[in-house]
Structure 1
Amino acid sequence: MTESASAQPRESLPLDSTAQLLTRITAQLGTQLSHVSLNGTRRPPMHRTIRPAPGATIAPALVAVAHGSRDPQALRTVMKLLDRVRELRPGLDVRLGHIELNEPLLPSTLTGLGSGDAVLVPLLLGRGHHVKHDIPAAVAAAPALRTTIAAPLGPHPLLVEALYGRLLEAGWPTEETVSGSSAVVLAAAGSRDPHSAADTRRTARMLSERLGGVPVVPAYASAADPTVSAATRALAARGRHRIAVASYFTAPGRFATAAAAAAPGIAAAPLGAHPAMARLILHRYDRALAGQARSGAHESAVNGALLASA
């Protein structure tokens, strides 16, 4: 470059006016705020498809299988519970299907998944007809979908923790102030299936331990004895006059309402969207996936041994 060329004065760039600067800043702030929801959390931009990174493994969908209820509070409660699950596991595809009474029904939910992978987690508290027959029948009717059915929610320590939490919310005293005349009735839906009754009895024993040895008696709203009223009378005859009813129901409904009405004292709310319930749903989902992986590894090993011996 010659000296004369370097000595030429530089052309100055035009400066934005104050109004132009304010307009630009406002536009940038508007773009940033469009990615933030009302509660302050960041959300993906509108009209944008989020795709997994190349080579990333897509987790199977979690299909929560609820019973269904004519009580409008039931659906709202289950939806709130699944929102908690999504908060604990962002990015997981969480869907809902009902066995009866509410939309979406389980077959419709499975059809909507097409030919992908899914783990069905029953929002049911024991092994009964719905777990053994209704859910497998719905899966059999969707052969294009690769599915695994998880165990029902109960019995499990996290379920007991949710029961304990609901009792405390209803006014159950702390362990230091529980009297010798205290007792709890564990009010469940009831089933003619002996495995379901065994699961409820086991949960009652676990809740008794959690309560420091306070007696916990299972009772049922239908299909089994004793009823909640009969259980409270029997406890009162044994000198237990401070009786609470623990609601062994996932969500509000006719049976939960009837059980609470029969309580002579404290009546706890259904398990609902208790944080321990959300953790338990993901625990059942993860255990089902782990069992599927073990089964696949065992099958691969067997096939490898057969090929080696051929």
Structure 2
Amino acid sequence: MQRTRYSARPTGHTPEEAHGAPALVAVAHGSRDPQAVRTVTRLLDRVREMRPGLDVRLGHIELNAPLLPQTLAELSGGSAVLVPLLLGRGYHVKQDLPAFAAAAPAVRTLLAAPLGPHPLLVEALYGRLVEAGWTDGRGNAQGGPGRGDAVVLAAAGSRDPESAADTRRTARLLGERLGGVPVVPAYASAATPTVPVAVRALAARGYHRIAVASYFTAHGRFATAAADAAPGIAAAPLGDHPAMARLLLHRYDQARAGAVPAGEPLLASA
């Protein structure tokens, strides 16, 4: 099967073009795990390397400094594109971010689409699985999936049906990237099945090499619990994978251009 790799080209801007452009404000959820802030910081360093001269900042919804209102206050009189480090549509994207933007009228604000679904996310998921020990076509001389291979896509979970639809779409894309391996979405909260239930269900169906792909941007309680439920391969969170940095810039550029991904709203605050 021929596999198509997606490559956004966010690095085509010169440093001169980046100067004077709206700031890219990456909006992270926040976590009590100290690794989370370190991971996001490394990711934003990659973004700065790809787009020299662009003002790249961080704001958290909760738990960690700087909180998003503080970051926006520092940009008073300027402009920013808020790029959520969130993997699908849900409450934070639909409610929290517009509210934060509205509460900062001194900043001209665009809200970018969430990171997922997108082929670059799939590339990052695939890369993390390979790093953890996944090999394509194990036990299959033709290079296709082994009969006992399956993957659980472990996500945070949301009560929003559009968020669940986004996760299911990512699971389908990852299955295609893996050459037809079954990929089952599972959740740490607010939705079913849970990761342990999904693992047990796959095992009951005869799958004996079950990996857990971590559909989280950084380490935290949910990511740790998902990894602990893996019977074998447990991939690391997406973190500072190069495809993630390219995707942040891709969403930033889309928002500036007014391009709306299919099924994903582009929100704006004057």
TM class by shorter-chain length? 0.7 to 0.9
Q: Give the fraction of aligned pairs with identical amino acids, expressed as a percent.
A: 80
Q: Does 1:261 align with 2:223?
A: no
The structure with the largest helix share of the pair is 1
Give me the whole-angstrom Cα distance separating, in 2, the residues matched to 1:284 and 1:62.
Answer: 10
Match of 1:102 among 61, 64, 78: 64
Q: Does 1:184 align with 2:151?
A: yes
Give me the whole-angstrom Cα distance separating, in 1, the residues matched to 2:102 and 2:19.
Answer: 26
Amino acid at match of 1:104: P
Give me the whole-angstrom Cα distance separating, in 2, the residues matched to 1:115 and 1:180.
Answer: 58
Segments ≥4 residues shifted beyond 2 Å: 174-178
3-state SS, counterpart of residue 206 of structure 2: coil
3-state SS, counterpart of residue 195 of structure 1: helix
Give 1:208 deviation, angstroms.
0.2
| TM-score w.r.t. length of structure 1 | 0.76
Q: Does 1:250 align with 2:224?
A: no
Give 1:57 deviation, angstroms.
6.5
Give 1:56 deviation, angstroms.
9.5
3-state SS, counterpart of residue 111 of structure 1: helix
What residue ranges of structure 2 are gaps of 5+ in the alignment? 1-14, 138-142, 260-270
Give me the whole-angstrom Cα distance separating, in 1, the residues matched to 2:173 and 2:252.
Answer: 22
Give 1:174 deviation, angstroms.
2.2
Alignment partner, residue 205 of structure 1? 172
Amino acid at match of 1:89: R
**Two-structure CA RMSD over aligned residues (Å):** 1.7
Give 1:179 deviation, angstroms.
1.4
Instruction: Call closer, same or farther: CA 1:76–1:243 in 2, change over 3 Å.
Output: same
Give 1:238 deviation, angstroms.
1.0
Give me the whole-angstrom Cα distance separating, in 2, the residues matched to 1:183 and 1:97.
Answer: 36
Give me the whole-angstrom Cα distance separating, in 1, the residues matched to 2:77 and 2:222.
Answer: 37
Give me the whole-angstrom Cα distance separating, in 1, the residues matched to 2:184 and 2:191.
Answer: 13
Give me the whole-angstrom Cα distance separating, in 2, the residues matched to 1:115 and 1:235.
Answer: 54
Alignment partner, residue 37 of structure 2? 75
Give me the whole-angstrom Cα distance separating, in 1, the residues matched to 2:229 and 2:31.
Answer: 20
Give 1:178 deviation, angstroms.
4.0
Instruction: Call closer, same or farther: CA 1:195–1:177 in 2, change over 3 Å.
Output: closer
Match of 1:273 among 229, 240, 257: 240
| Cα deviation 1:77-102 (Å, max 9, x = unaligned) | 00000000000000000000000000
Give 1:237 deviation, angstroms.
1.2
3-state SS, counterpart of residue 62 of structure 1: strand
Give me the whole-angstrom Cα distance separating, in 2, the residues matched to 1:115 and 1:126.
Answer: 30
What residue ranges of structure 1 are gaps of 5+ in the alignment? 1-51, 293-310
Give me the whole-angstrom Cα distance separating, in 1, the residues matched to 2:238 and 2:35.
Answer: 13
Q: Does 1:284 align with 2:237?
A: no
Match of 1:87 among 36, 45, 49: 49
The structure with the largest alpha-carbon Rg is 1
Would you say how many aligned residue pairs link Structure 1 and Structure 2? 241
Alignment partner, residue 164 of structure 1? 126
Give me the whole-angstrom Cα distance separating, in 2, the residues matched to 1:115 and 1:87.
Answer: 26
